[in-house]
Amino acid sequence: MKKLYYITLITGIILFQNCAQISAPTGGEPDKDFPVLDSIGTVPSNYSTQFRGNKIVLTFDEYFVLKNPESTVFFSPRIDNEPEYIVKGKTLTILLNNELKANTTYTINFGDAISDYTVGNKIPDFKYVFSTGTFIDSMKTEGKVIDAFTGKPISDVLVMLYENTEVSIVSKERPIYYTLSNKEGAYSLTNLKAGSYKLFALKDENRNFLYDLPNEKVGTIDNLIELTNDSAVSHSPISLFTKDYIKQSVTNKKYEYPGKLTLTFARPVQNWGISFLDSIPVEFLKKEMNENRDSLVLWGVNLGKEKSILTVAMDTTKETINVYPFKNTTKNKELNQLSVSRAIDATEPLKIEFNRPISKVKDALISIKNDTTSIPIDSITIEMKTLLIYFAKKEDKSYRYTTFPNAIEDLFQTTNKDTLSSPISVKKSSFYGSFTLKFIPKKDSVNYIVSLLDEKGEAIKTKWVKGNTTLTFSKLTPGKYTVKAIEDLNSNKKWDTGNYYLKKKPELVFYFPIDITIRSNWEMAESWEI
């Protein structure tokens, strides 16, 4: 009996130990619940008044994890000394090392710092509120945060209130009140006391509650937030922008092979130029700026074969760079076809793009056929690396394009070695749709950059207009589009950001409120007042 009792006792201890372990449940539906505050075990209770102590005990309905409270938990109004956070079981004890202000409502913003122990489900935007006075302040302000250029909402943005309304306060002090924007860019600052406040929104990259990094996005509203008893203030969206702080320069130069040099700029260039400071001859120099205007490719015979010196002009900046000989002379020497526009409109040419600038074409070595019938080529035009082939074509017909060896010669007198062939289809004119926009700006003396964007947000057609204008976008592939308009105040045909300290706002960007759905053989018309 003693031996049996001993074994039973050991077994019981083992079972007890196993039961005491905190582990994730097995099987069943995944746990999606986050910890919930237990009102009975929380002292004082949430939204209590006449707080006099220096200790707050928060009890939850399950085991939890408090992550980095020193950087994620914030008191508003702010307190000078960091409190002590003690987690034990299901209880969080907060020991205050500050003398609290009288008759003041405090909010402890936990954000998503608290999550359950097993799965990590976070409590969204958890706040604990208490007052040292006889009532809880009930005023609030709310709104939305968007990107100044894209117009899209931005999440995890600090929205802050300051009693000090000087311009530079956002770089000097932490705010009195703050909250974070959600996935929709929306925010709500609650339990505020009456008064006048300056409001800022900050994408706080280093999480120090200060606008102190050049790449941080910042925004504000012109007017002060005026809060009176039981008031709620809403306002237009806050537009966030990064100041144009980057000094223009050549940030990178890349040699792919002799004759090709790619220069990358710190930011887009509007006006540029290239000149050589030495006597090294560079024949047939071609210059190719990319669409974003932040990269330039130089193509030239002898470029990179010997050391040379370039002067690069970038708007108001000039920089001298050295071009050193390229050592690997075997790399990328072939002339290759990159793409063919296989589906074209009856009124447009066939476009064939190559990997290097084209210098010569032998028309006799290029053919267009419909089945076995040869189609006469009207003309062939060279545009840098692209051939434009014009020929008589009919809607809803198929053709085949063929380029025979040695038909194409590039800048470096290299020709295509292989026969290149691709099918071509000509779409019916009824396949396309069109869109007409009556553009009505309130500022008729200002230029606007109006762009039609595809579903990826890329501009496929852009027009520069002033005053009331009717814009027609024709031959559009069926699909969804949107329209963007930039208020081009300085008429430089690009969007310019702002500078908070100089009180320079970014140029306004407007988005048409609805998607434009283009259908085949359909003409759509809209009016837009901005």
DSSP string, 170-181: HHHS--SEEEE-
Do 314 and 357 reside in the same domain of the chain? no
Q: Which residue carries 């995944």 as its tokens?
A: 30
Comparing 326 with 169, the larger pLDDT belongs to 169
Question: What was the pLDDT predicted at 22?
Answer: 45
**Of the candidates 74, 62, 167, 160, the residue with the CA atom closest to the CA atom of residue 113:** 74
Q: How far apart, in whole angstroms, are the C-alpha atoms of residue 199 and residue 237?
A: 12
pLDDT, tens digit (0-9, with 9 covering 90-100), for 55-92: 999 999 999 999 999 878 888 888 888 899 999 999 99
**Residue 20, in any domain of the structure:** no
Query: Given a cut of 90, is residue 334 above it in pLDDT?
Result: no
For residues 181 and 271, membership in a common domain is answered with no
Choose one of 294, 323, 352: the last residue of a domain: 323
> What CATH number has the domain bearing residue 110?
2.60.40
For residue 434, the model assigns a pLDDT of 95
In a domain, 22, yes or no: no
CATH number of the domain where residue 519 is located: 2.60.40.10
378, 365 Cβ separation under 8 angstroms: no
The mean-pLDDT minimum among 85-99, 106-120, 241-255, 468-482 falls in 241-255
- CA gap 39, 61 in Å, rounded: 10
Residue 48 forms part of a structural domain: no
CA distances in angstroms from 385 to 286, 338, 381, 411, listed in the order given? 10, 10, 11, 10
Q: Where does 142-205 have alpha helices with state H?
A: 169-172
pLDDT at residue 268, as a whole number: 84
Judged against a pLDDT cut of 80, whether residue 36 lies above it is answered with: yes
Distance, CA of 285 to CA of 283 (rounded, Å): 6
Note whether 155 and 222 are same-domain residues: yes
Asked if omega into 268 is within 30° of 0 (cis), the reply is no
- Residue 13: predicted pLDDT: 37
User: Which is nearest to 479 in space by CA: 430, 525, 524, 518?
Assistant: 518
Q: From edge to edge, which strands make up the β-sheet containing 377-383?
A: 337-340, 350-354, 386-391, 377-383
Distance CA 217, CA 203 (A): 5
Asked if 74 and 122 sit in the same domain, the reply is: yes
Q: 198: helix, coil or strand?
A: strand
pLDDT band at 3 (very low <50, low <70, confident <90, very high): very low
The verdict on residue 469 lying in a domain is yes
Q: Mark which of 99, 131, 163 sits at the end of a domain.
A: 131
CATH number for the domain including 379? 2.60.40.1220
The span from the CA of 367 to the CA of 391, in Å, is 10
Question: Nearest-CA neighbor of 81 among 65, 72, 93, 70?
Answer: 70
- In this structure, are residues 259 and 228 in contact, taking their beta carbons and an 8 Å threshold? no
Same domain membership, residue 435 and residue 421: no
Q: Which of 373, 395, 427 is the last residue before a domain boundary?
A: 427
Domain assignment of residue 358, yes or no: yes
Joined tokens for residue 152: 């899209």
Domain at 186, CATH number: 2.60.40.1120
Residue from 119, 108, 117, 11 nearest 51 by CA = 108
pTM of the model: 0.69
Q: What is the dihedral of CA 217, 222, 225, 226, to 10 degrees?
A: 170
pLDDT in tens, 116-174: 998 899 998 899 999 999 999 999 999 999 999 988 999 999 999 999 888 889 999 88
> Between β-strands 186-192 and 139-147, what pairing exists: parallel, antiparallel or unpaired?
antiparallel
Pair (346, 360) in one structural domain: yes
Question: Do 68 and 104 fall into the same domain?
Answer: yes
User: Is 19 contained in some domain?
Assistant: no
222 and 275 fall within a common domain: no
How high is the pLDDT of residue 21?
44
Q: What share of the chain is helix, strand, coil (3-state, %, to 5)?
A: 5, 45, 45
| Same domain membership, residue 144 and residue 234 | yes
pLDDT at residue 509, as a whole number: 94
74 assigned to some structural domain = yes
Residue 488 has pLDDT above 60, yes or no: yes
Length of the chain: 530
Q: How many domains does the chain have?
A: 5
Domain that holds residue 394: 337-427
| ω into 44 cis (within 30 of 0) | yes
Residues 438 and 477 in one domain: yes
Would 5 be classed as within a structural domain? Answer: no
H helices present in 186-268, as ranges? none
Convert the pLDDT of each residue in 211-247 to its tens digit.
Answer: 998 889 999 998 899 998 777 888 889 999 988 767 8
Same domain as 482, residue 401: no
pLDDT of residue 8: 36
454 with 513, same domain: the answer is yes
